[in-house]
Amino acid sequence: MRLGIIGCGVLGRFHAPMAVKAGFQIVACTDPVRANANVLAAEHNAVVVDDALALCALDIVDVVAICTPTHVHAQIVVAAAQNGKHIFCEKPFCRTLPQCEEALAAVKKAGVKLFVGHVVRYFQEFCAIKHQIDDGKVGKPGFVRTFRGGQSPLGEGSWFRDFDKSGGVTLDCIIHDFDWLRYVFGDPDRVFAQDLRERIDEGIDYAMVTLRFKSGLIATVTGSWAHPSGFKVKAEVCGDKGMITYDSSEAPIASQLRGAGGTTPGVVLPASPVADSPYYLEWKDFHGWLEGKHTPRVTPEDAVWAVRMGLGAIESAETGQPVSF
């Protein structure tokens, strides 16, 4: 399975070895910053092309990985589908619902396979939480609370800080939690949210979201790009027979570096290594689907739902009223 990487920034470079481990061969790379594409292509003995459209048109490519800013996902998905390529797309699937519909229609028309990287479904800690719930260990879950975030990604001038491109912390970061919550607890009924998107230029966004599920369950989701440093994830599930809590800051390894060589003094870097990275597991799942072995854990419809939940939260934060799905 020959893979072309579109977007060779942080995520493109991160995904590449995961895809290779899962059985893909990287044959082409493209990035508006040519040097990024060159570095990755050299590592994998791949070709570099000018842009996404050129990569989608390559005969040597069977599958594309879209690791670009969110707002251009849709047009690349359409181009890839029209060229008969299978697609791995980073989350969120698209920036708007019409874009999701257009992209999904193109995928269906072309009969290609689309996998969107809702990787939290593969994180071992979240699998463990789901397993205990499914096993009835907390009884019927009634309330869930999650936190995800830390520092604003990348720096000043980054596309993440352009709300029209990224959708802020709500659409970019806690879409992970929206997807995982729907995966475990079913469809949501309505959402209410508040956020600090008016400060996104300063590198600050903070989203506070309450979801009400059709089952009655209440979920409170907090997402932060407001912390001066670090990244952490927390989850809590309360049921009629028990509770589950998880906090990534209680990691098995914590290192603290002295302030030499440009590092920030006193920053604690937690680590929780596992044999199989959840990013590898999502690539493996996608690979198995392409080989016709099984259906994937994340369907294209799931990815559209996650965007719908994120955009619902964004709309609620704008209007100050709940949004029904």
Q: Which C-beta is closer to another protein: that of 30 or that of 316?
A: 316
Pair 307, 97: CB distance under 8 Å: yes
Site string for another protein, 306-325 (x = CB under 8 A): --------------xxx---
Q: Which C-beta is closer to another protein: that of 76 or that of 217?
A: 217
Q: Which C-beta is closer to another protein: that of 120 or that of 208?
A: 208
Rounded CA-CA distance 73/96 in Å is: 10
Q: How far is the CB of 324 from another protein (least distance, A)?
A: 9
Rounded CA-CA distance 281/123 in Å is: 9
Which residues in the 39-98 window bind another protein by CB under 8 A?
A: none
The secondary structure of 58-97 as a DSSP string is -TT-SEEEE-S-GGGHHHHHHHHHHTT-EEEEPSSS-SSH
Q: How far is the CB of 242 from another protein (least distance, A)?
A: 5
Q: How far is the CB of 31 from another protein (least distance, A)?
A: 34
Pair 125, 246: CB distance under 8 Å: yes
Rounded CA-CA distance 16/227 in Å is: 29
Helix, strand, or coil here: 211?
strand
The secondary structure of 16-34 as a DSSP string is HHHHHHTT-EEEEEE-SSH
Which residues in the 137-176 window bind another protein by CB under 8 A?
A: 138, 140, 142-143, 145, 147
Q: Which C-beta is closer to another protein: that of 13 or that of 161?
A: 161
Place of tokens 């806690």: 174
Pair 239, 139: CB distance under 8 Å: yes
Q: How far is the CB of 196 from another protein (least distance, A)?
A: 6
Which residues in the 192-251 window bind another protein by CB under 8 A?
A: 192-196, 199, 204, 206, 208, 210, 212, 216-218, 220, 222, 224, 226-228, 238-243
Q: Which C-beta is closer to another protein: that of 14 or that of 143?
A: 143
A 10 A CB-CB count for 50 gives 11
Task: State the DSSP code for 159.
Answer: G
Stretch that binds another protein, among 81-89, 180-188, 189-197, 252-260 (CB under 8 A): 189-197
In the complex, the residues that contact another protein under the rule CB under 8 A are: 138, 140, 142-143, 145, 147, 190, 192-196, 199, 204, 206, 208, 210, 212, 216-218, 220, 222, 224, 226-228, 238-243, 320-322
